């Protein structure tokens, strides 16, 4: 397990960071071990839409995609690439305004026989979520650190404290909670998400359809 803390992810608040776009409009970042980008898209039923060279290109494609709708669509684009982490290769999937990482049916399928971790934000709305799945089971999820649910809601408490999150809910105003959640994700995946990693990756792009009713 790495020793990442919130301090390692202070870059997300830089006004020049491409991640700032995700914080503004909403994002979901999902990591799945041992599942390739193409396999991830197959599992979630996404239609392949080619490749984007870098996060700025993915953001531009997302904007063009939205321009085709009068209202925000229920489907969304996701960009995915392979990165090394704990136990081998992981797929990192990035979306803006989508909800792949918060759809239980999809996350259960993606994590079958492996591990999947996601975190997200609703942009300007004060809603931020973290999910840890293991072998199809939601182990720990929370919006605020004290509001944990899942089959093992307290298993990460010690690690949460180390990265800067207080499981009791006493917020430290000197700690960036979002940065701490990225550090918690690194502790569970071994993947260090950096600005350069996101900016320079070659993203396979897929269009994830609207979630079926029922």
- Condensed to tens digits (0 to 9), the pLDDT of residues 109-150 reads 999 999 999 999 987 676 899 999 999 999 999 999 999 999
- Condensed to tens digits (0 to 9), the pLDDT of residues 29-67 reads 999 999 999 999 999 999 999 999 999 999 999 989 888
> pTM of this prediction?
0.95
* Token couple for 183: 């550090």
pLDDT tier at 27, thresholds 50, 70, 90 = very high
The DSSP annotation for 17-73 comes to -THHHHHHH-EEEEEEET--HHHHHHHHTPEEEEEEESHHHHHHHHHHHHHT-SS--
Asked whether the beta carbons of 161 and 173 are under 8 A apart, the reply is no
* Rounded Cα gap, residues 90 and 37, in angstroms: 9
Residues 6+ apart with CB under 8 A from 48: 38, 41, 204, 205, 206
Mean pLDDT of the 65-85 span: 88
């Amino acid at each position: 397990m790495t020793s990442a803390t919130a301090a390692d992810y202070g870059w997300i608040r830089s006004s020049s960071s491409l991640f700032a776009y995700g914080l503004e409009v909403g994002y979901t970042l999902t990591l799945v071990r041992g599942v390739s980008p193409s396999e991830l898209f197959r599992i979630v039923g996404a239609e392949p839409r080619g490749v984007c060279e870098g996060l700025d290109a993915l953001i531009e494609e997302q904007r063009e995609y939205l321009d085709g709708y009068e209202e925000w669509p229920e489907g969304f684009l996701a960009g995915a690439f392979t990165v090394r982490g704990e136990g081998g290769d992981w797929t990192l999937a990035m979306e803006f305004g989508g909800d792949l990482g918060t759809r239980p049916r999809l996350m259960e399928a993606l994590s079958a026989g492996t591990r999947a971790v996601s975190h997200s934000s609703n942009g300007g709305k004060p809603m931020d979520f973290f999910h840890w799945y293991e072998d199809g089971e939601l182990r720990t999820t929370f919006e605020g650190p004290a509001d944990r649910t899942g089959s093992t809601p307290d298993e990460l408490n010690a690690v949460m404290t180390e990265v800067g999150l207080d499981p009791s809910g006493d917020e430290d105003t000197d700690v960036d909670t979002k940065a701490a959640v990225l550090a918690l994700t690194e502790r569970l995946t071994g993947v260090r998400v950096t600005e350069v990693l996101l900016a320079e990756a070659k993203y396979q792009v897929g269009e994830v359809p609207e979630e079926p009713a029922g």
